Chain A
């Protein structure tokens, strides 16, 4: 609401106060974006340069007990089932490898994260659609919730520009408000969002690195450590209407007001796929395991790299960054554990007079386009639920209490849909401390 520019901008304004006339005279050049070199440069900001492609591709959902004419899609290669649009992070790839990602979208879009004070350029390259060469749609990136957004970088094609096939465009941001956001394509929004061009984006506060309340990482600039955490997990909440995906692959129209969801996902996966290990892409953009072994592109989940499995050790504070880019409300609950809602819509829950507006809850209802920051404190672990590479654990299901379980296993008692679990390990677990991988050097390791 207020001007949240950091002091650097003010300083710059002071420095240039006497130079306005000169700058005005060269206004045309400035409008084209050149930085006037005669002005004293402020302290350099960390430069974050990412490149995403927008394209189409194929992903997989659990097979139905009774296949329909439109699911699984008979055009789908290998073990894939579902046509999708999506983004891929191709930062650092060669031009040839970037263009080769046409037809290899991922679901959901890669989680992106930056620090307050970063200078962020996200370049979108539209490489076209492999299955629909007739469909010459543009793409954009809309950083949903970015404050005081200049329209050119807001990604609404009607209000600025879109990126045509074969071109790219740099979306520029100086994030100055920590919190959990989301991003998506806004070209033919109802279609491109539904088709999968949706991802979590979050900004880490400048307070990180300081010590407050025994923590050095925080969700917000809280001043007191109340949002400090040990581990963080982005969760993208979506649901798909599979018929509309089949329609797009088969050159059919969808009446979007007939929207009827059939699969419910976390990070682009349906339970139990949500628990499967995260994967990645190698330096050529080819699917690969975390260890770097290639994955056949026809394999299930090859283009759904983001796991939704949550892990922590007893006593850890775990930050869940949840964004809903579906078209339905979702009642996210964590069975057996409560959490503290510390932020909503990239805003610390605190009144301007310091009144604490955070709250304890066991369920958070998220409407489409809303986000929430939840902090879970992992209890002691008895190790009674199972064991994996990090030792034995207690499992706590996280799911949509709206019971969006999907039709695929109708008649079965097996769980599916929008569901994952939090595994809490004992203090002796080998689970390493979490550090998020850099996004701008391929191959980007999986976020675990």
Chain B
């Protein structure tokens, strides 16, 4: 069944026979502005230097890295038109953004993070996977008040307080940072972000080389590095907080499911898309295929899954298995260098877990060297949903064909678009309207990319 939701609606839809406009027309421009496709100059992302896709790092200096994260409120927008009051962590005095900035440091860096709190309640930060953290110079740890645990780490006072955390980012890997205070509420409100620790001196590796490791496991193409940070929201909680009303967490029910703070189809819009001013991070994954007829070596794409939600998300990339090379910032390698990595077609990322996965894609068929040995039925006898498609018109990677008259095509040069999504399929919806939510596209380009 196809349906969409009206702007601002938070209730069950009431008009079941309605066959409203297609879901991918709902967000203005988002469906046609696939991040990798060349846009006109006026549409291009405003931020200078940011690539349209791929990880956008917020960096500091090395070996002493210093960041200020400001906890504050703002609004994000959803593809169904709903605007949601959100808390998040902002880089210094920068514009409101959700999720928090992707902090990138080098292994061994002495990292200082000052949390400034502009929210009306105390908050804090925890850094799962980091060790020997201090808060204002003291050992970071739980705050007990009146015999009760009130926070997992020292807090910044409401409305202007601050606290400074410090740690040595001792090991390369993919990590999470998040609120350690009233986590049920504050994580859903949005106080989460990703932390990448890079192996010093190895810009194209996710981890340090391991002696005796039989394969070069963590190398990747730096032009194909992606963070997919997975979250969810219950808009009723956000509305209650915005109105300064109490919220009963036993009634909690998420209705929005996000990658990098966006729901599909916003997920495929470019980094810093102007129409998503509070959600700067694209979730489009794009890399080049291996073409046996060309003999190219595009390297591996690296996808760093970061689950900042409260449940496991069974994330399923179509098109090919991924090789799981690390979990929680630990390379999957045995004590004697044994290969403990493995391939999966669904990456079940646990709550608070990170998983690093590499992807490659090999062109199977070619019109000359390996044609598909059957006749493809005429496309005019088939169904293009909502008369639009990402399909090129040709079964062959890098080729385009003719689509039926009246079909809108979002395809540049015969590239493949594969889904990547949660397989708990109710999460692939925007408040129940299917074809949204925790869904993005994996764009596989032919060798050499699109001209």
Contact = CB atoms under 8 A, between A and B. Distances in A.
Contacts of A156: 318, 418-419
B12 A255 contact: yes
A256 B319 CA distance: 26
A355 B334 contact: yes
Nearest to B431: A257
Interface string A369-382: 11000000000000
Contacts of A349: 342
Interface stretch (A76-84, A189-197, A266-274): A189-197
Interface string A1-32: 11111000100110011011001100100111
A360 interface: no
A170 B377 contact: yes
A150 B395 contact: yes
A247 B1 CA distance: 11
8 contacts: A13-B369, A36-B371, A164-B382, A167-B377, A172-B372, A253-B12, A327-B426, A370-B344
Contact of A149 (B17, B320, B372): B320
B339 A352 contact: yes
Interface stretch (B129-137, B157-165, B383-391): B383-391
A402 B15 CA distance: 36
Given A161-B391, A163-B382, A137 B1 contact: yes
Contacts of A31: 367, 394-396, 399, 401
Interface string B243-254: 000000000011
Interface stretch (A280-288, A339-347, A384-392): A339-347
Contacts of B209: none
Contacts of A142: 318
- The contact size tier of chain A is 35 or more
A137 B423 CA distance: 21
A161 B425 contact: no
Nearest to A39: B371
Interface string B25-69: 000000000000000000000000000000000000000000000
Contacts of B423: 325, 327, 367-369
Contact of B428 (A144, A189, A251): A189
A257 B254 contact: yes
A144 B345 CA distance: 8
Interface string B219-262: 00000000000000000000000000000000001110000000
Interface in B376-411: 376-377, 379, 381-385, 389-391, 394-397, 399, 401
Given A253-B1, A367-B346, A33 B375 contact: yes
B198 interface: no
Contact of A159 (B323, B418, B432): B418
A154 interface: yes
A357 B344 CA distance: 13
Interface stretch (B109-117, B119-127, B356-364): B356-364
B272 interface: no
B185 interface: no
A355 to B, nearest CB: 4
Contact of B382 (A19, A167, A256, A347): A167
Contacts of A158: 24, 385, 389-390, 417, 419, 435
B338 to A, nearest CB: 4
Contact of A257 (B215, B253, B369): B253
A152 B365 CA distance: 12
B94 interface: no
Interface of B: 1-3, 12-13, 15-17, 24, 214-215, 253-255, 290, 292-293, 312, 314, 316, 318-321, 323, 334, 338-346, 348, 358-365, 367-377, 379, 381-385, 389-391, 394-397, 399, 401, 416-419, 422-429, 431-432, 434-435, 441
Contact of B371 (A35, A148, A187, A367): A35
A161 B343 contact: no
A53 to B, nearest CB: 16
B340 A355 contact: yes
A365 to B, nearest CB: 8
- What 4 A-B pairs are tightest by C-beta distance, nearest first? A369-B423, A255-B432, A351-B339, A367-B348
Interface string A258-295: 11000000000000000000000000000000000000
Contacts of A157: 383-385
A189 B399 CA distance: 28
Nearest to B386: A158
A328 interface: yes
B367 A23 contact: yes
Given A347-B344, A351-B341, A20 B368 contact: yes
A161 B384 contact: yes
Interface in A93-151: 119, 121, 134-135, 137-138, 142, 144-145, 147-151
Contacts of A20: 368-369
B319 A148 contact: yes
A172 B377 CA distance: 12
Contact of B389 (A1, A160, A191): A160
B406 to A, nearest CB: 15
Contact of B419 (A16, A159, A259): A159
B370 A9 contact: yes
Contacts of B419: 156, 158-159, 186
B370 A12 contact: yes
B345 A152 contact: no
A90 interface: no
A224 interface: no
A187 to B, nearest CB: 7
A119 B383 contact: no
Contacts of A13: 292-293, 369-370
A142 B421 CA distance: 14
Contact of B320 (A148, A153, A329): A148
Interface string A201-238: 00000000000000000000000000000000000000
